[in-house]
Chain A
Amino acid sequence: MPEQDELVHLTIDDHPIAVPKGTLIWAAARQLGIEIPIYCYHPKMEPLGACRMCFVEVERMPKLATACTTVVSEGMVVHTSSSKAQKGRRGTLEFLLINHPLDCPICDKGCECDLQDFTQRYGPGGSRFDVSKRHFPKPISVSEHILLDRERCISCFRCVRFTQDVAMENGLVMEERGYKNVIGVDPNAPFDSIFSGNVVEMCPVGALTSKSFRFTTRPWELKKTPSVCGMCAVGCNVRVDVRVDKVLRQYSRTNDDIDDGWLCDRGRWDVALINSPERLRTPLIRRDGALEPASWDEALRLVAARFGEIRERQGARAIGGIGSTHVTNEEAYLFQKLLRAGLGTNNVDHFHGRFPAAGKNDLPWVWTDSIAGLDGATHIVLLGTETYTRQPIVDLRVRKAIRAGARVWVVTPEPQRLDRLAAGTLRYAAGRTAAVARALLSIVASEGLARSEGEQTRVTAERVAAVAARLAGETPERLAERAGVDVAALRRLAREIAGSAGAVILYDELATRELGGETLAQDVLDLALLTGNFGKPGAGCGPLLGAANSLGARDMGVLPDMLPGYRPVTDPAARAALGGAWNASIPSDAGHDYDAMLSGVVKGLYVLGADPVRHASLEQRARLEALDFLVVQDLVLSETAQLAHVVLPAVAYTERDGTFTNTERRVQVVRAAMQKLPGARGDWEILVAVARALGLSWTYLDPAQILAEIGRIVPIYSGVTRRALGMEGLRWPLSPTEADGKRALAGSPFLTWEMLEQGVSRPASAGAGAGGELVTPSGRSE
């Protein structure tokens, strides 16, 4: 960015400052800690200049300037609180208040209302308005979740610009004109957007309020904790707002790299499970066929005893564990450690855990680039995804890319919300995602579209030949036919990808589980590699994952064949290193995977935060019922828990500390926002207690200690600590670097060829703990 280098010098209220060319006066003042009040301006949207609140006086300008629209210039002298500027702001506030109902005592927004705050700081002491105010019927329900009070509205246009320009969805619009203008919805175009709640958060007054939050509290009674949303794999940064023992909402705390300041409605309001009256408050033990309350002591002793018996009688391979994508890294790590080191089995996996044939010699199946990288993509191909419902904020980021000119292809079996905005859509037969990817790859290979330039010089003839050999006999036509899609359309798409300056190709992790889906991850990776869409920002490929810690569960080795950090259990060096660190011996054979564990090969099963019954076939369900011993650890009595012999009550992500790793490899700190539900315990605490009941000498006092162990043992997490992750997290591979003579931790925004060739998952030496043996430092090719 050459513009960044050009600094412009100005003074604001006598403070000199230099800012990049193009900076708004408002932003420059903010850097100096000088507040300029705004209503219509929102840093994530284009300047509008409508509300006239941000007046400043600029020397040699005849009129007051709006700081939100005026760009700095060299030598500019700005006064933010001259009497002229003050009069301007007073005037605006007086205008805004003449029609305002002034019903602050019963307004949800009280204490977080910009109209209250700015009136106090900049407003007139009284009103000269003694004629009649406008009145409107109120409140009006504008959506399932939101109410509108038109009398409180100050026409800042934030909400309409959000729904129209940012979300690009049916939503709020301005209706009528002039003094009659009101916010409204078209009755025939319902405001049903999953992004709707953002308008409530960004409304500077109490005009838009949430039905669920309405009248439940005064905002100052809320306890606000910075954390990470636990509803999906995007990992938006949130502030959890809690009143006593209820989560009332999540607000954004803006991480530009992930959420860009937005949240989806699921993240914002879907707190039903956390607040559920059905939450378990005590362990349960099955007695005479029925689950009955029991003490923690009794339950833990029983778990240890029954697993001990099974191991004794049937061997460790008769025990297995099904882990969760919802628990923290620390808990996932402890879970597999408990099974491997404590119970002596590699039988540990989770639903969607084993990712079929994920490039044995290449990267594990991760997104090679990042969410923010989408901003710079010229092409985005969404393959078998449902981003709008499964990763909403990624979907919103795709919309941002569309605004910036990216061509988006929605390649899915079913129509998607994004279709309307897409440059192209392709429909194929359900369950045939892998064939579509393979067809694209075979077009690239057979049409000679592979590139070999720049970073891509490593696309060697051999690699192309290897791909061709792998695809031998599978023509684009045959593959397209199998996928039920027009081959000509696929060819157009393949050429676009090959000709793009930066394409991102994403698929949903679910697609790898389709019949024949084993080839998908490798084929998409090769598609990106051959077309030069790898190792640079604004390009890349990978899966979009589903749950808050889908990636973390894998990273932590909740997998039958991989140890933490994707080191194969069959690798003696890796086993030795880990065994040494754990002071245990790790079985050398790969464990049973998820499906196997549900097929009767294990007799004792430990289910942590998962509900396999929900996805189970009748036969699998019968196997679960037939288990000798089933322990389930969960928030509520799930369908699986109803079959359990022991149920251990756990807590939600808002009740304990830890870390999650999102779909773009970012490790982030989750913070306890409220007291644990009485009677329930954090998953990590329960795991420690079970381990101790089994006779292991685990001494972890808090999740930070577990994380520190992860930092020592898991190469891609090398050096990780809570402090190093800070408020915004870091993307793995993490590695300590020397910055200014101090040790710092850096993450990698996108993966490079070098990492690919070494295999991020397989450091040259699997020896854990020694800082000198870390994998590739970041930023090599930036």
Chain B
Amino acid sequence: MAETIDTVAHDEQQLPLGPSPKFVTANIDVPGIDRLEVYRDHGGYQALEKALKGYQPEQLVDAVKKSGLRGRGGAGFPTGMKWSFLAKNTGKPSYLIVNCDESEPGTFKDRMLMELLPHEIVEGTIIASYANGVHHAFIYVRGELAYSGVQMERAVEEARAAGYIGQNLLGSGFDLEITVARGAGAYICGEESALMESLEGKRGYPRLKPPFPAVVGLYGGPTVINNAETIATIPAIVRYGADVYAAYGTEKSKGTRVYCLSGHVNRPGNYELPLGTPLRTLIEDYGGGMRGGKALKAIIPGGSSVPFLLPDQLDTPLDFEGIAAAGSMLGSGGVIVFDEDTCIVGAVARMSEFYRDESCGKCTPCREGTFWLVQLLERLEHGEGKASDIELLNDICDNIAGKVFCPLGDAATMSITSSIRLFRDEYLHHVRTGGCLVGPGARRVAVAT
């Protein structure tokens, strides 16, 4: 894995903003930065002025393309390209949606941005709307995050009072309305098309694609939807220039992103780092290493919807390509760390319950499959499973993956299939001994292996 470290191939001295700049979280610890005046005192809304006065919308789309920014919502789709796909002249209004529905287990960056830097999201929303010719943008905040919702609403009201929202912004002739909407408890509503259904006041079922949102989205109009962090990065790109942003990260994964570190580390938290930073750096340097000096057992590098990695993959760079090459996905940036005492079967059962409970129920394999998977995992975890259950789990996953309507179903299988691949012995141990291999509940009966 040595060469992967080199993918952060810049000479730190020559980097325009130093080795590890903060494009998104620069002023996050400034007291009161959630208020408009303080935000403005620290350079807030200057990017907006620059964008409205100095750029044509297409130039902004080009700049975002050039910055190399990729979506922070999970799929990592190039943001500039997404914007350029927005259908033009359809006769229907276009919309922008900021996806603040953060619910992927292991992910907690968007909530932080909403609580502490709501104006950055608002500023990004305005710039993105201008770039895409959108006159009505929606910020969809996860229902459970009440305080985030309050913060976003207040920021929007403050921005409106300051003339950043409304008619003829800063004399540019550009009009914009922003509405803060709230979810009500459904993970699937983070999926873009389900979010649109929810925003239209319906049950959050994913929509059939094609047509894609860029052509037929909210209210049937062409729609851009971006993650909160993606949007919060826009002001910095405008402010510093696409080149500066693109100077960080790796060849295909530019810039920085906010990694959410949780699990068995000493200092869990959100850390904005250049893409390509090795997992080891995040966990050991920033996370302060393993809690209680325990050994590392496994890592989930991108929220619970992605496969496990092993300790020997610690030097994998945290960028889209590097993590993919290691057999997982960068996903939402939620890095979950498991120590040696964690029973993998128990942990996987817990993650699977999430997908069972959050499946929207529209498609058969996800609705019925997750129901079945959880029952099998629980029975294994409780020592009542059979050896054949392991293959059955794999085959059920095969009947789900690639056969479901939306990516949630695929996501549900990731931890199961990867853990069976990487920790089969632990499953077998449950079958043979009726108990866990590790952890407080471990049943260390001698088993012939």
Q: Please tell me if the beta carbons of B403 and A52 are within 8 angstroms of each other in the complex.
A: yes
Question: Which positions 479-532 of chain A face chain B at CB distance < 8 Å?
Answer: none
Identify which of B203, B357, B363 contacts A52 (C-beta below 8 A): B363
Say if the beta carbon of B124 comes within 8 Å of chain A: no
Q: Which B residues touch A55, using CB under 8 A?
A: 403
Chain-A contact segment, one of B75-83, B127-135, B252-260, B366-374: B366-374
Say if the beta carbon of A179 comes within 8 Å of chain B: yes
Interface size, chain B (Cβ < 8 Å):
30
B349 to chain A, nearest CB (A): 13
Q: Which A residues touch B403, using CB under 8 A?
A: 52, 55, 63-64, 88, 91-92
Identify which of B208, B369, B392 contacts A95 (C-beta below 8 A): B369
Q: Which B residues touch A95, using CB under 8 A?
A: 364-365, 367-369, 372, 399
Q: Please tell me if the beta carbons of A178 and B363 are within 8 angstroms of each other in the complex.
A: no
Say if the beta carbon of B125 comes within 8 Å of chain A: no
Identify which of B360, B371, B372 contacts A177 (C-beta below 8 A): B360
Q: Please tell me if the beta carbons of B375 and A178 are within 8 angstroms of each other in the complex.
A: no
**Contact A50/B356 with A88-B403, A129-B372, A177-B186 known, Cβ cut-off 8 Å:** no
B353 to chain A, nearest CB (A): 11
Say if the beta carbon of A174 comes within 8 Å of chain B: yes
Say if the beta carbon of B327 comes within 8 Å of chain A: no
Chain B residue nearest to A173 in the complex (CB)? B203
Question: Which positions 93-125 of chain A face chain B at CB distance < 8 Å?
Answer: 94-96, 98-99
Identify which of B357, B361, B368 contacts A96 (C-beta below 8 A): B368
A161 to chain B, nearest CB (A): 12
Interface size, chain A (Cβ < 8 Å):
36
Q: Please tell me if the beta carbons of B363 and A131 are within 8 angstroms of each other in the complex.
A: no
Q: Please, how many angstroms separate the alpha-carbon atoms of A64 and B203 in the complex?
A: 27
Q: Please tell me if the beta carbons of A52 and B402 are within 8 angstroms of each other in the complex.
A: no
Q: Please tell me if the beta carbons of B367 and A179 are within 8 angstroms of each other in the complex.
A: yes
Q: Please tell me if the beta carbons of A181 and B367 are within 8 angstroms of each other in the complex.
A: yes
Q: Please, how many angstroms separate the alpha-carbon atoms of A436 and B319 in the complex?
A: 72
Say if the beta carbon of A128 comes within 8 Å of chain B: yes
Q: Please tell me if the beta carbons of A98 and B372 are within 8 angstroms of each other in the complex.
A: yes
B323 to chain A, nearest CB (A): 21
Identify which of A49, A92, A128 contacts B365 (C-beta below 8 A): A92
Interface centre among B372, B400, B404 (most CB of A within 10 A): B372
Q: Please, how many angstroms separate the alpha-carbon atoms of A88 and B399 in the complex?
A: 6
Say if the beta carbon of B359 comes within 8 Å of chain A: yes
Q: Please, how many angstroms separate the alpha-carbon atoms of A95 and B357 in the complex?
A: 17
Chain B residue nearest to A92 in the complex (CB)? B364
Say if the beta carbon of A163 comes within 8 Å of chain B: no
Identify which of A62, A94, A157, A181 contacts B399 (C-beta below 8 A): A94
Q: Please tell me if the beta carbons of A179 and B364 are within 8 angstroms of each other in the complex.
A: no
Q: Please, how many angstroms separate the alpha-carbon atoms of A598 and B362 in the complex?
A: 63
B113 to chain A, nearest CB (A): 28
Say if the beta carbon of B376 comes within 8 Å of chain A: yes
Question: Which positions 92-118 of chain B face chain A at CB distance < 8 Å?
Answer: none
Q: Which B residues touch A155, using CB under 8 A?
A: 361, 364, 367
Say if the beta carbon of B379 comes within 8 Å of chain A: yes
Say if the beta carbon of A132 comes within 8 Å of chain B: yes
Say if the beta carbon of B341 comes within 8 Å of chain A: no
Say if the beta carbon of A357 comes within 8 Å of chain B: no
Chain B residue nearest to A93 in the complex (CB)? B364
Chain B residue nearest to A179 in the complex (CB)? B371
Chain B residue nearest to A131 in the complex (CB)? B375
Chain B residue nearest to A154 in the complex (CB)? B364
Q: Please tell me if the beta carbons of B361 and A131 are within 8 angstroms of each other in the complex.
A: no
Chain A residue nearest to B402 in the complex (CB)? A63
Say if the beta carbon of A456 comes within 8 Å of chain B: no
Chain A residue nearest to B378 in the complex (CB)? A131
Q: Which A residues touch B405, using CB under 8 A?
A: 49-50, 52
Say if the beta carbon of A255 comes within 8 Å of chain B: no
Q: Please tell me if the beta carbons of B399 and A91 are within 8 angstroms of each other in the complex.
A: yes
Give a binary string over B229-267; 1 marks a CB under 8 Å from any A CB, 0 the rest.
Answer: 000000000000000000000000000000000000000
**Contact A47/B376 with A52-B364, A52-B405 known, Cβ cut-off 8 Å:** no
Say if the beta carbon of B158 comes within 8 Å of chain A: no
Say if the beta carbon of A459 comes within 8 Å of chain B: no
Q: Which A residues touch B399, using CB under 8 A?
A: 87-88, 91-92, 94-95
Say if the beta carbon of B358 comes within 8 Å of chain A: yes
Q: Which A residues touch B359, using CB under 8 A?
A: 177-179
B269 to chain A, nearest CB (A): 32
Q: Please, how many angstroms separate the alpha-carbon atoms of A298 and B399 in the complex?
A: 75
**Contact A131/B376 with A52-B404, A88-B403, A179-B359 known, Cβ cut-off 8 Å:** yes
Say if the beta carbon of A69 comes within 8 Å of chain B: yes
Give a binary string over A63-103; 1 marks a CB under 8 Å from any B CB, 0 the rest.
Answer: 11000010000000000000000011001101110110000
Chain B residue nearest to A156 in the complex (CB)? B364
Q: Please, how many angstroms separate the alpha-carbon atoms of A494 and B375 in the complex?
A: 65
Q: Please, how many angstroms separate the alpha-carbon atoms of A63 and B375 in the complex?
A: 27
Q: Please tell me if the beta carbons of B365 and A50 are within 8 angstroms of each other in the complex.
A: no
Q: Please, how many angstroms separate the alpha-carbon atoms of A341 and B380 in the complex?
A: 89
Interface residues of B (CB under 8 A from A): 186, 203, 208, 356-365, 367-372, 375-376, 379, 392, 398-400, 402-405
Beyond the given A95-B365, A98-B368, A177-B360, please list 17 additional residue pairs across the A-B interface where CB-CB is below 8 A: A50-B362, A52-B363, A88-B399, A91-B399, A91-B400, A91-B403, A92-B365, A96-B364, A129-B372, A131-B372, A131-B376, A154-B364, A176-B361, A178-B358, A179-B356, A179-B370, A179-B371
